[in-house]
Amino acid sequence: MHMRDLLNNIKKGKKVASIFTDMDNTDKCSTGFIGNVSDDFVVIKHISPSGKYDGFLLKSMEKIYRVDFNGEYENRVQYLYRLQNQNHKEIAEKYSSLILDIIDFAEKNSVVISLELYNSGHDDIQGYIKDVDNERLEIRRLDDSGKEDGISMVNISDITYISCDTENEIVLDLLFKSKI
């Protein structure tokens, strides 16, 4: 079974899954409900280990080497999520690209987004969407203290990972809005 088919089956079953993408740290995974799936990317409705909403992740399909589901950990996280009445908004499939869909979601909901470029392994840019078209994205950059740190313009095709409205981005948003 192809990875895309597996992820779509898990999505249809409304089950939590753990997605493994870091071969240098095989204990690390991202756990949550499967959102939209394409040939190139998957959107994960991320959930913390304690069952709390933790935003959205966009991961490259080619980096996924393992998917766990129906296990004790995934069932526990899903149970805690339901017990705490947590929920994720839906990311509309408006474009032919999941990258553009999640960027549109971040822009419309005014949430902080973090971008990885060229498979760097870390967040290269974090901030608010300023402008976007089919080829380029303009970000109002935030530093780690939540202070504005200029503007970045990137090619959409250079983006390899996105996190949106996770705990890290929520902290930056709070710091920015508090004007510390």
How many beta carbons lie within 10 A of that of residue 58, not counting itself? 27
| Structural domains of the chain in order of their starting residue, each with its CATH number | 1-88 (2.30.30.100), 93-180 (2.30.30.100)
Q: What is the pLDDT of residue 105?
A: 97
Residue 85 pLDDT exceeds 70: yes
**Nearest-angstrom CA–CA distance, 173 and 61:** 29
- The strand order across the sheet containing 53-60 reads 66-69, 16-20, 30-37, 41-47, 53-60, 159-164, 113-117, 125-132, 136-142, 148-155
At residue 55, φ and ψ (nearest 5 deg) are: 75, -150
Tokens found for residue 46: 């991320």
Give the length of the chain.
Answer: 180
Residue 111 pLDDT exceeds 70: yes
User: Predicted confidence band at 179 (pLDDT cuts at 50, 70, 90)?
Assistant: confident
